[in-house]
Amino acid sequence: MTADALLCYCRAGFEPELAAELSERAALANLPGYARTERDSGYVEFLGADATALSRAVPFASLIFARQKLLRLADLRGLDPRDRITPILAALEATATADTARASYGELWVEHPDSEAGKPLAGLARSFGNALRPALRKAGWLARSDDPTRPRLHVVFLAGDHAVLARGDTRDSAPWPLGIPRLRMHADAPSRSALKLEEALITLLDDDERQRLLREDMRAADLGAAPGGWSWVLMREGLRVVSIDNGPLRPHLLDSGRVEHLRADGFHWQPKAPLDWMVCDMVEQPRRVAERMATWLREGWCKHTIFNLKLPMKKRWDETRLCLDLFTQQTQRPVRIRARQLYHDREEITVFASTR
């Protein structure tokens, strides 16, 4: 089935950053094209290139500002509210190739952008999905039960009369509708920042890495820990944590017996012996944070780290590249890096790095 564009979701307001990222990655892959978007729309389309080739050249896991990556199959405008199903079935037929098998899709997601304009479409997306699924199954496009080995079919409503038909590779896309993991704030969490680290652990590490890298009684440091949201997440994973901050922690963290609080400056403190992990969510200049995080890996003070880079209001893609390049250069050793603007992030990106 032919794709005519790459469709990626993002945080509303960060469309220019995602557009710049996709444009640069396409140029590096020698796949000319252009990004099309509108400010605060919550999505970017990349057109003019071989969409399938670009998707292969730009794995979802390598993208920073994308919440989801899909191949656009059709752009359906002027839909009649009385019958939106017939045009969708016709579009599937029109984009099918001779060797396209029926029951091509294992699941249907009907979505809308996570934006002010998109949120009112949530009710339509829910009700339309219930009507479209049986029609797709009857026409042979959708498996009788969810099948994660097959691609997903996405119908993305941009307006009541405008929908995009897209395909998602379950091995190369976010496993959550809208690309958003739905996490609940735990009653015992010291702050909402705990959700950022929880999301980072399920987004930036795979299942095998979480089992290998987060083991009982591993040792970690949390720089700039107060009031203790990230220390609490690590403690719940079974780690022993040294929380570094001149400010107070929530008392129940210390009651656990797994958290030690040291009143010190996170930018100057260093451990007496190497640790397994260091995490950091300090509000500071992103280049300064990148340099300090690189020092930790270069000096062997930790093996793995997750940290946030607070981005400026302008030239955020340029600052992102600069900080990650600076971090890579100053570690002075082989290191694997993954970065993403998480759903629970705001004007920041979250980085996972590990020495090889």
CB 128 within 8 A of CB 90: no
Beta bridge partner(s), residue 47: 5, 34
CA distance 210 to 353: 14
CB 301 within 8 A of CB 314: no
Known binding residue 222? Answer is no
The single-letter DSSP state of residue 113 is: -
Structure tokens belonging to residue 115: 């934006």
CA distance 325 to 322: 5
Q: Give start and end residues of each alpha helix (H) in the chain.
A: 15-28, 51-57, 85-95, 122-139, 193-203, 207-213, 229-236, 251-255, 286-298, 316-331
CA dihedral 131, 134, 135, 141 (to 10 degrees): 130
Known binding residue 294? Answer is no
Known binding residue 227? Answer is yes
Known binding residue 193? Answer is yes
Known binding residue 59? Answer is no
Beta bridge partner(s), residue 63: none
Cα–Cα–Cα angle for 97, 98, 99, nearest 5°? 95
The single-letter code of the amino acid at 212 is R
Q: Give start and end residues of each alpha helix (H) in 141-246.
A: 193-203, 207-213, 229-236
Kindly tell me the sign of the dihedral angle through the C-alpha atoms of 117, 119, 120, 122: positive
Known binding residue 229? Answer is yes
Known binding residue 248? Answer is no
Q: What is the CB-side half-sphere exposure of residue 38 using CA atoms within 13 A? A: 7
Q: Please indicate whether residue 303 is annotated as part of the active site.
A: no
Selected catalytic residue, list 272, 310, 314, 315: 310
Which residue is associated with the tokens 């294992």?
Answer: 106
Which residue is associated with the tokens 């979250």?
Answer: 350
CA distance 205 to 211: 10
Known binding residue 265? Answer is yes
User: Would you name the residues annotated as active-site residues?
Assistant: 310
Q: Which residues are annotated as a binding site for S-adenosyl-L-methionine?
A: 193, 226-229, 245, 265, 281
Q: Show binding-site residues.
A: 193, 226-229, 245, 265, 281
